[in-house]
Amino acid sequence: MKLTLWTYEGPPHVGAMRVATAMEKVHYVLHAPQGDTYADLLFTMIERMKKRPPVTYTTFQARDLGSDTAELFKDAARTAYARFKPDLLMVGSSCTAELIQDDPGGLAAALDLPVPILPLELPAYQKKENWGAAETFYQMVRLLGQQFVLAPGQTRSARAPGTKPTCNILGPTALGFRHRDDVEEISRLLRELGIEVNVVAPLGADPSDIARLHEADFNVNLYPETANTAITWMTRNFGQPSTKVIPIGFKGTQAFIAEVCQLAGIDCDIQEFSKSSKARWYALSVDSTYLTNKRVFIFGDATHAIAAAKVAAHEMGFKVVGLGTYSRELAREVREAAAELGLEAMITDDYLEVEEKITELQPELILGTQMERHIAKRLKIPCAVISSPVHVQDFPSRYSPQMGFEGACVLFDSWVHPLMMGLEEHLIGMFKGDFEFHDGAMPSHLGHSGPGKEVLEQAPTMTAAKIGDPAWETDAEKELNKIPFFVRGKARRNTERYAVEQGLLSISLETLYDAKAHFKS
Amino acid sequence: MNSVSQEAMVDSQPINFQPLKERGQREVFCGLTGIIWLHRKIQDAFFLVVGSRTCAHLIQSAAGVMIFAEPRFATAIIDDRDLAGLADANDELDKVVKQLLERRPDIKLLFLVGSCPSEVIKLDLSRAAQRLGKTFAPNVRILNYSGSGIETTFTQGEDACLAALVQDLPKSNSSEEVDLLVVGCLADVVEDQFSRIFKDLGLKSYAFFPPRESTQKINVGPKTQYLLAQPFLTDTARFLDNLGARRIAAPFPLGVEGTEKWFLAAATALGISQDVFEKVIAPQRDRAKKSLEPHRDVLQGKSIFFFPDSQLEIPLARFLNRELGMSLMEVGVPYLHRQHMAEELAMLDPKTQLSEGQNVENQLDRCRAQQPNMVVCGLGLANPLEAEGFTTKWSIELVFTPIQGFNQAADLAELFARPLTRKNKLMMVETA
């Protein structure tokens, strides 16, 4: 049993719903207790969809447990097929139904429905949402692609001369963070490069599209969390190579272009192609100089966390002080990315652990999920959202990709926005007593007056002083409060660490500056 | 204004409602959802769901749009190690509770909330609550209730929570028993208004339940009469009856008429004179009636169809029909408690089609066939129905908004008028 304040992922059947809901002409019969229909709201409210998810729930109640829940399931599957006439029927259990072990796959097969049945085994007490989506997509690709598998020893026939190279875009689902606009941005980019998109899946595809996946020359792996399993199978069985680079950020997009050109066998002048990118120029302009070495903590799914770390370090000039993910399936990739930045990656799905790490690091900016916004509020640290889980405000109506050159612009704007702007930061560093622009008030461009001064005097250090820790002298404490709020937590920690290392019993004004010189040198 | 006795009201009421009873997919919340308003009402309480990741996901999907510096609810997620053996699960739960209470020393009352998985594996949370209660007494009280989907529908979670609180009430001390207990979560502003009215009526000893602070002492016993402010409190009422308290039969305080009859029932039961009642209530009633007028212009003659959600449907339908002139199509309820609903049913338009339980696909077919001017439904159906051209009022808001009492009657009407007004406004812009 695990204490969970917030969970980064839902249960695996929500992943299966994300695949079903993304697609056309499929239906999902889910053996689940009354109440699990809450998941419909994720799609109708958070993603603001106009249709009900194509999901029929058995919604059993306590009184049904005494009778035949298997019969209940068969009824639900039979009536769902009769009503919706899908081209493919997915069947499975939610966590509670898993406990009563009715075997939806076997029961559905016994109904002799005239469509393919996709039975889903999603262990709800071990696996989570993204795994559920990946597994569902993989099983579907396998079921519908089986007949096109290359015979052993057979290789993929080369593209006919004079035909355009084609690819599939794989991974986007319902309830994906900016999937809608990423697909549009990347499709356009590929088109401009002269590459045709064969199928986008699961988003917008139907079972007949899934059966056509093998026709493409290669695959674009847009979201490894949901696409990896299927793509690995397709590489092995259809002989299709796939992309590895995630086109997030200016440099990421450039590397992606190079990769797809190579896979498609075409030439492209990448410098010429990307010269109009605004994000690049904005980061180079002098207004952005104050962003240099801002200390940033990054957490999210592996794909977005790795990409954000690269963008933060190499395109924004931030200093990445922490990098982590809840995507255990991709832990290795995140460890590698962290090692490149001289960090040890944090692989956890424990919200409390993430909170503890952020508290310890005292970053100036958090790039994370909706859950990190709770932590950021508690610690009063600016925060921007880079990854699922997200809430309704991160399914915006405006065009807001994260990928491609336009995505790079969106990243620049949304990451810089929560930070205090340059002039204000300078003036607050110089003058402390201003009644309006007081120390630690919310950046005035965000339009709030922010918390009162009294609250902020207590720097957000969560760990109470332990016995034996050096005590702060009054003068030193006063001086500490002259340090701008957003770096004060870090200064406090460094000074305390320095004092402990030096074996000091108390921290004087001089210790504060000694520590400052020590850590700057 | 002669009030009739309880029995007479029940006997005289027409029992000609034959609700349509259906089985099938129920598009409703489970009782865990109650946590979303209960955690705000009882501010020193914490709600620990013992369940699966699905349960955790449900609550955060509903409440997580608010950014919490200190959340007041969490989930102890059962994993496969817990499923292997029950003794182990109890140790694990103890560990989680200890970890939680160390992190949040300000918690005074902890609810262990049961879920579908915890109930299917028969994890005995009531014994766990007793065991842990002893460990953490006297600083923290630990109680248990079930919010599982297999047992409870949406607002029944509040019923289960309040029933647990009732069972934990101190041994009654007859000299301190309250005369009147108002039962059911009400918005603070509504509670304050009701409190003033009770005071003006001359009542000395009354209390609201649940209290805002879990440590507040309330004595309930045979001297106590209670008045339900919400229609979904079946178990809570039963446990109050067990303490010897007596229910005052009344319609629910929604709309001017409902509110007046609700207060009248209390006044009659507690021996308040007709003159005093009239003097206190009349100005409030008249002002409230006037406040409904602009909304009647919007709603009069419009038809309305209710999907089941909270058990508030019948009182709401009665209000919209009698005070605002809406015509009732189907009124769906998740459960129908005939005794608690008797006064409401007596006022409900006898032509109304009641339905209890749900087969959501069939109900959608009926709704589409009847083409109501307004559909009251949950958020899983609202946007899809809007996209089909229906005007909807999402029902959950009715549980989150101050809607009871005289001063809120117009606000309640406005909740229904607003979607129609909005549609008018947006469509006019389109054609202009």
**pLDDT digit string, tens, across residues A312-355:** 999 999 999 999 999 999 999 999 999 999 999 999 999 999 99
| Cis geometry, peptide bond prior to residue A389 (ω within 30 degrees of 0) | yes
Contact B57 A11 (CB under 8 A): yes
Please tell me if residue A37 touches chain B, with a CB cutoff of 8 Å. yes
- Top residue of B67, B103, B335, B396 to mutate, by most chain A CBs within 10 Å, is B67
Which tokens belong to B19? Answer: 């609700």
Q: pLDDT tier at B196 (50, 70, 90 boundaries)?
A: very high
Tell me what pLDDT residue B9 has: 44
Q: Are A208 and A186 in contact (CB under 8 A)?
A: no
Distance in angstroms (rounded) separating the CA atoms of residues A223 and A178: 11
Distances (CA, A) of A116 to A215, B110, B306: 21, 49, 37
Contact B54 A36 (CB under 8 A): yes
Q: Are A1 and B95 in contact (CB under 8 A)?
A: yes
Nearest to B30 among A35, A60, A378 (CB): A35
| Cis geometry, peptide bond prior to residue B138 (ω within 30 degrees of 0) | yes
Distance in angstroms (rounded) separating the CA atoms of residues B164 and B130: 12
Residues 330-369 of A with CB under 8 A from B: 352
Q: Are B320 and B327 in contact (CB under 8 A)?
A: no
Strand partners, B40: none
Q: How confident is the model over A193-204, as pLDDT tens digits? A: 999 999 999 999
Nearest to A168 by CA among A129, A130, A123, A205: A205
Strand partners, B206: B180
Nearest to B93 by CA among B77, B116, B109, B117: B77
Chain B contact set for A41 (CB, 8 A): 61-62, 378-380
Is B65's pLDDT higher than 80?
no
Q: Give the amino acid at A196.
A: E
Q: Are A276 and A300 in contact (CB under 8 A)?
A: no
Nearest to B64 among A94, A124, A370 (CB): A370
Distance in angstroms (rounded) separating the CA atoms of residues A84 and A76: 12
Which tokens belong to A179? Answer: 């999937």
Distances (CA, A) of A365 to A10, A382, A417: 26, 5, 11
Nearest to B62 by CA among B363, B364, B399: B399
Tell me what pLDDT residue B82 has: 87
Nearest to B74 among A3, A36, A371 (CB): A3
Distance in angstroms (rounded) separating the CA atoms of residues A74 and B330: 29
| Bridging pattern class, strands A2-4 and B73-77 | antiparallel
Distance in angstroms (rounded) separating the CA atoms of residues A449 and A244: 45
Contact B53 A11 (CB under 8 A): yes
Please tell me if residue A96 touches chain B, with a CB cutoff of 8 Å. yes
Other C-beta atoms closer than 10 Å to the C-beta of A244 total 11
Q: How confident is the model over A41-54, as pLDDT tens digits? A: 999 999 999 999 99
Chain A contact set for B362 (CB, 8 A): none
Which tokens belong to A465? Answer: 């002083």
Other C-beta atoms closer than 10 Å to the C-beta of A473 total 16
Contact B28 A35 (CB under 8 A): yes
Task: Give backbone dihedrals phi and psi of A402, rounded to 5 degrees, phi first.
Answer: -100, -20
Nearest to A27 by CA among A88, A108, A93: A88
Is A453's pLDDT higher than 50?
no
Rg value, chain B, Cα: 22
Q: What is the mean pLDDT of residues A90-101?
A: 95
Distance in angstroms (rounded) separating the CA atoms of residues B398 and B376: 10
Contact B64 A35 (CB under 8 A): no
Q: Which residue of A has its CA nearest to B46?
A: A5
Tell me what pLDDT residue B3 has: 40
- Angle A224-238/A302-311 helices, nearest 10 degrees? 110
To 5 degrees, how large is the angle CA A100–CA A103–CA A108? 135
Residue A350 designated active-site: no
Q: pLDDT tier at A465 (50, 70, 90 boundaries)?
A: very low
H/E element holding A366?
strand A365-368
Q: What is the mean pLDDT of residues A224-230?
A: 97
Nearest to B99 among A3, A14, A62 (CB): A3
Q: What is the mean pLDDT of residues A109-127?
A: 96
Q: Which residue of A has its CA nearest to B383?
A: A50
Tell me what pLDDT residue A487 has: 79
CB contacts < 8 A (A, B): 189
The model carries a pTM of: 0.91
Distance in angstroms (rounded) separating the CA atoms of residues A339 and A36: 41
Distance from CA of B351 to the nearest CA of A (A): 30
Interface pTM (ipTM) of the complex?
A: 0.92
Q: Exposed, middle or buried, B83 (CB in 10 Å: 0-12/13-18/19+)?
A: middle
Distance in angstroms (rounded) separating the CA atoms of residues A304 and A325: 9
Residues in chain B: 432
